[in-house]
Amino acid sequence: MERILVIGCSGQIGSELTLALRKIYGNENVFATDIKQPPASILESGPFTILDVLDYNNLMHFAIRYKITQVYNLAAVLSGNAEKIPQQAWEINMKALMNTLELSRDTDANKLFWPSSIAVFGPTTPRYNTPQLTVMEPNTVYGISKQAGERWGEYYHKRYGVDFRSLRYPGLISYQTEAGGGTTDYAVEIYFEAIKNKKYTCFLSEDTALPMMFMDDAIKATIDLMEADESKLSLRSSYNVGGMSFTPKDVAASIQKHIPDFQIDYEPDFRQAIADSWPASIDDSVARSDWGLSDKFNLDSMTEVMLTEIRKKLA
């Protein structure tokens, strides 16, 4: 029987992934943890504990006490925030990963999911249809920590047999919990602002294309990777995940199909340079052929769900 530890259950991914895991593995077998309070849906459906991933002793005692077999480590400082506190962000992101790698090596919690990101790529990477294996010279703190993290994950797999699995998530779009401090977050904010105020000022320029994915597809991809037979995984660094590719102008046009008087203007800030250093689209054929990555949503079908669900949420 699997007993799963989710670290970072109150964040954008964790708040949805925890519920999806509870449906599959049983509420009582998915232990949600974070340093901040989670949404009511998590508190009401199963166990929650305040736990700091940076505190290795506590983390290890927790895993032993609850006989944890799998860990999802979602704790991170995102790209925009990391640029404001480079040293701290590096320490937090790396320490959180190293603690869970050690945990997986030293306890029965051998299977570990850790998200990487399109931020592992940099300005010298081929920008369109970015291959799985290519030039990687990230120039953001967040990207450098993700790239180093991939190397460490693969190292712990080869050297110590840790069952490390990872996806290079594109920008993730969801309506349950807002992200915080990311460069792709405009694509979440824009939907909330469209419903609240019918206008949005975008911090990226209108033609900035980035790879993006709707949260439902990202959760499915994550669980599919974790459930895939080990023999199917040719990579133990991190798999490219492409989703879709669009610009702020494309999202605005998609919203205008439902809200014709929605207005957008553009005031690019420091996050523009981050976005410009990332790929515009991603080749994820290795994940598709290794373990069957698939996705369902395109921009318009995602817009429909986002607008409907945000309306309900704000009503």
Residues that bind ligand SER (CB under 6 A): 78-79, 117, 119, 142, 169, 171, 182-184
Which single residue brings its beta carbon nearest to ligand SER?
Answer: 182
Q: Which is nearer to ligand SER, 107 or 117 (CB)?
A: 117
- Which candidate in 72, 142, 191, 200 is catalytic? 142
Count of Cβ atoms closer than 10 Å to residue 255 Cβ = 23
To ligand SER, the closest distance from the beta carbon of 184 in angstroms equals 4
Between CA 315 and CA 312 the distance in angstroms is 5
Q: What SS3 state is found at 110? A: coil
What does 16-46 look like in DSSP terms, one character per residue?
A: HHHHHHHHHH-GGGEEEEESSPPPHHHHHHS
Q: Which is nearer to ligand SER, 78 or 280 (CB)?
A: 78
Between CA 164 and CA 157 the distance in angstroms is 6
- Cα-based angle 84, 272, 150 (whole degrees, multiple of 5): 65
Q: Which is nearer to ligand SER, 68 or 144 (CB)?
A: 144
To ligand SER, the closest distance from the beta carbon of 161 in angstroms equals 28
Select from 172, 69, 156 the least CA-distant residue to 105: 156
Q: Is 191 an annotated catalytic residue? A: no
109-120 CB burial, b ≥16 within 10 A, e <16: bbbbbbbbbbbb
To ligand SER, the closest distance from the beta carbon of 218 in angstroms equals 11
To ligand SER, the closest distance from the beta carbon of 94 in angstroms equals 16
Active site residues: 142
